[in-house]
Every structure is written in C-alpha cells, then in structure tokens.
Structure 1
Amino acid sequence: MPTEPKREKNWKHLYTRSVKLARARQLGVEYPRVTEAQLTQEPEDLPKPSQTNVLFVCSRNQWRSPTAEQVWRKHPALSVRSEGTSPNARHRVSVNDLHWAQVIFVMEEKHKSRLLAEYRRVIENKTIHVLDIPDDYKYMAPELVDLLRDSVGAILRLE
C-alpha cells in the first residue's frame, strides 16, 4: 500500500507540470526559463589568463550597455560583452554569458534584481556592480561615455 500514495503524488506533479508547460506555450514564454542542464553546464569560452571577462547589462541592450561595451572593447586587460534583461532586448542575457563573465556591471538596481530572480544559482558567486546610470542617454552620448569610463575604471582600477 505505501507505493499507491507515491504514484498518486507523482501523477499530480506531472499533471501540474504539463499544465504549466501548456500555459507557458500559450503565452509564448519559455518554461522553465533556465533548465537544470543549463545551470550545470560548463562555460563555452574560457577566459584568457591576462584578461577579465566583463558583462554589461541594461534593459534592452540598446544604448547604455552597448556604449559600455564599445568604450571598453579595446582595453587590453578586458574582454567585454553587453546584454539586456528584457525579452525584447537586442541581445538577451543567457546562461552562457553569465558563466563567461567574471564581473557583471548593471546599469540600475532593477537589472540586478532581474538577474537574481532568473539566474540566482548561476550568478551566486559573481561580482555584480550597480552603476546607477539612468536610461537618459543615447548610444555613445559624451556624458554617458564619461560616466562609464570613470565608474568602471575606478571599480576595476583601470586607466
């Protein structure tokens, strides 16, 4: 008799999961967002010994993070990428990007919260810096470039 309740419990679990999957498909959402396999896989790109992998994150990967990537792209001590947290971002943050990054810079506190909500286990040992740069700048705006040079340079102790 002890096996019967366990079978029933498994059946309920499978049914609930299938309902969630069906609802996610109906809404056009990935479910689960991050699979167990993605969480445990090794990063694709191993860092070069002399470079630090830096990921810049904003909402739509349209102005702030691409500007940061452009500003720091040619620095010899850094390897940089930019991503967005929004589903309609030009380049959306992925598990591979988070595995790759050694340091993560987010433009606002909400970006850090979104990363923690979706990828907590992936980024639990990563350094995340909030730059507090509002979405008030266009791509490569001189004020934005100066802010990024000063703040990122100070945090990473770069020229």
Structure 2
Amino acid sequence: MAHLLFICSKNQWRSPTAEGLFKNQQLHQARSAGTSDKARIKVSQKLLDWADEVFVMERRHRQLLQQRFALHKPVTVLDIEDDYQFNDPELIALLQAALQEYLQ
C-alpha cells in the first residue's frame, strides 16, 4: 500500500479534498497537511517520512518544504490554485484528472 501525502496552505479545502478521494481505496492510504502555522494539520518531517509520494497544490508549497525539511523523495506540483471550497465538484474533477493513475 502506497502512502500519499497531499499538502496545501491551511489544510482546509484542497488537500483534505484530495485525501478524501482515497478514503475507501485499498491500493493507497492518503493523508493531508498544510504549510501555514494556521493549518488544521501542519506538515511535519514525520508526515513527510511516512509518505511514499508527496503532492503539493502550488509551487510555493514545494519551495516551503524544501526550505524547512529534509526531502528524500520527489514532490509533485498539482498546480491547483486556492480557488475552491472543500469538496467543490470542480476541485474534485481537477484532482481526479491529475491523480487518475492512483485512483484506478
């Protein structure tokens, strides 16, 4: 089972929506976190070490991770701006398109 970590800023809308796509999936386990001090769940070295693959919503999230943590794996930028609410159908469609190889 692969561990997928999704990261946005405050861990309120984008990354929890991505995590939810994998809720009942047996091939992958997903978690989410945020880079902000105000994040619901803050990204940590422990979470990064847990993950087999790390996905961030914006390039700046990858930059923050590179500055703050020891990254020993690639980080995929999904290029999804902070324009969506939690479980917004358009956000779900963007995530499904970007993550289709993992959602099979």
Confirm whether residue 97 of structure 1 aligns to residue 44 of structure 2: no
Confirm whether residue 137 of structure 1 aligns to residue 84 of structure 2: yes
One-letter amino acid matched to 1:95: Q
Aligned residues of 1:102 and 1:127 also touching (Cα < 8 A):
no
CA distance in 2, matches of 1:73, 1:126: 23
Note the C-alpha offset of 1:76: 1.0
* 1:78 aligned residue (3, 28, 44): 28
Report 1:35-46 matches (<5 A): none
Q: Which runs of 5+ in 1 are unaligned?
A: 1-50
Percent sequence identity over aligned pairs: 43
CA distance in 2, matches of 1:109, 1:56: 13
| Over 3 Å off, 4+ runs | none
Q: Which structure has greater helix proportion? A: 1
Note the C-alpha offset of 1:60: 0.3
* 1:69 aligned residue (12, 19, 36): 19
CA distance in 2, matches of 1:102, 1:95: 13
Note the C-alpha offset of 1:74: 1.5
One-letter amino acid matched to 2:74: T
Count of residues in correspondence between the two structures? 104
Which structure has the larger Rg? 1
CA distance in 2, matches of 1:102, 1:117: 20
* 2:58 aligned residue (105, 108, 119): 108
Note the C-alpha offset of 1:127: 2.2
Aligned residues of 1:61 and 1:84 also touching (Cα < 8 A):
yes
SS of the residue 1:144 aligns to:
helix
CA distance in 2, matches of 1:103, 1:153: 15
Q: Which structure has greater strand proportion? A: 2
SS of the residue 2:3 aligns to:
strand
Note the C-alpha offset of 1:126: 0.9
